[in-house]
Structures are given as C-alpha cells and as structure tokens.
Amino acid sequence: MEKTEAVVLHTYNLTESSKIVVLLTPYRGKVRAVAKGVRRTKSKFGSALEPITHVEAEIYFKDGRDLQNLSQAETLDAFPSIRSDLTRLGLASLICELMEQFAQEDEDSSALFALLLIALKTLASTTKNYASLLISFYLRLLDVSGLLPEINHCVRCRRGIEGHAYLEASAGGALCGGCSGGAGEKVYAGSLKIMQRLLTCDWTMLDRTRIAQPSADEILRALNTYIIHHTGRELRSARFLRSLPKLDRE
C-alpha cells in the first residue's frame, strides 16, 4: 500500500457500488484505480473522489495490473469556489481533461502534478481574465511535456515574425508567411508576443492580464489545434471551448 497525494481527474461507474477513478499522482503518474463500495450512501470517502479534488489517497499497487485498488482517500482541497461557478468549473474540467491526455502511467509526473495544482489554485482565486490563465496553462503544459512550439521566430528561416504567421504543429512552431504556404493556424505577431509573455508570467498576475477577445480566440484556437495534433484526440470539452469568447466578458 502506498499513500500519495493525487488530484482526481475523472471518474466513471463500474458497478452499482464501485467506480473507476483516474488520478494524477506526483511519482506514479496517471493511475486508474477501483474504489470499491464508494457509490454506497454510507461510504466514508465517496465525496473525496469527485473530479477536481486534491486528495491524499491510499492505493494498493500491483505491477502489470491495469486497475489498481484505491482503499482510502481524504480530501485536502475540494476547490469550492470552482464548483460554485459554472465558468470556472468548465475551465477546471478542461484543465483536468488535458492533463489526463498528457500524463502517462508509471512515470515521474511531479512537474505535471505541480502544474495542475497551481493552475487549479490560481483558478480558484480568479474571478476574471480566464483566457489569460488558460493560455498560460496550455503553454506550460506543452513546455513540461517537451512539446512547446517555437514562438519567437520562424522555425524554418529563423527570422523574426512580422505581420502574421502560422502555427504549424508538424513544423514545431510558428512559420512566417513566406515559409508556411498557408499551412497551420493563422496567428498575428502580436498574438505570439502575448504567448511569450504568458508562458513566463507569474501566476498571481494572470487575473490582471486582460487579452483582447480576438487575440484570445486566435491563440486558443491555434493552441487547441496544436494539442489535438499531438494527442490525436478531440477534447470532450469541445463544446466548452466554443464558448470561450464569453470567458472575459463582464
């Protein structure tokens, strides 16, 4: 049995009394575990296994087994301010879904775990400028995963970007108009500068960083396409992505 911090990413029912819980842990990576009896009314730890919950879990690991056994979970942070707001809840669900796609099983994921926690904690204390937070999370997730696109200059001619560029996943970043042939998602030079700033911006400053809606839409569309290229999967939260233009309206 191992005791570990974890964030609940996703759950689904297995039997009338049990469910499968997908967790992100710092040192075991993504873990899929069976929580037996958790759906019973008298379960002592069922509330700790809601998605978007930071927990301390007790897991029985067995090598070669697809599903581990989760014997206990204690809530460390349920992020009530996220759950009380539909916009923040949708964003947190998207963040957890992205993390589930990127995290691997049986590998050190301490950097991913730290990124997920700080993103959720920042979201819990944020009431505006959500697009800035989401763009920053996208970029940092790609950076930690070794997939960060080159956004400082054209990846082919190595020249600075003026006017507009195209973010092309197969090329590994931005292509100037002359090198792209029109392939990729169009992004203006100003949007690339915003991305550069949000990649390193302090988390506490994100709620003070407002991005013009056209730029936010453009960046998020390009990054979403970039991520889909690398994961090969559409996000289940695609409908939420389509509502992004409303994120920062008062």
Mean pLDDT of 46-66: 89
Which spans in 26-129 are helix H?
A: 80-83, 86-102, 110-124
What pLDDT does residue 149 have?
96
CA quadruple 8, 12, 18, 20: dihedral sign: negative
Match 């302090």 to its residue by tokens: 202
Spatial neighbors of 121 by CB under 8 A, at least 6 apart, are 77, 79
What pLDDT does residue 250 have?
40
**177: its two tokens:** 């108009």
What pLDDT does residue 232 have?
86
**Element housing 65 (H / E):** none
Is the pLDDT confidence value at 249 over 50? no
Cβ 216 vs Cβ 198: under 8 Å: no
Count of other CB atoms within 10 angstroms of residue 220: 19
**Element housing 185 (H / E):** strand 185-188
Mean pLDDT of 183-212: 94
Buried-exposed string 90-99: b where 16+ CB fall within 10 A, e elsewhere: bbbbbbbbbb
What pLDDT does residue 43 have?
64
What pLDDT does residue 16 have?
77
Match 């994120």 to its residue by tokens: 247
What pLDDT does residue 243 have?
58
What pLDDT does residue 48 have?
86
What pLDDT does residue 187 have?
95
| pLDDT, averaged across the chain | 90
Nearest partner of 23 among 62, 69, 64, judged by Cα: 69
What pLDDT does residue 246 have?
59
Distance of alpha carbon 235 from alpha carbon 220, whole angstroms: 13
Domains of the chain: 2-81 (2.40.50.140), 126-246 (no CATH)
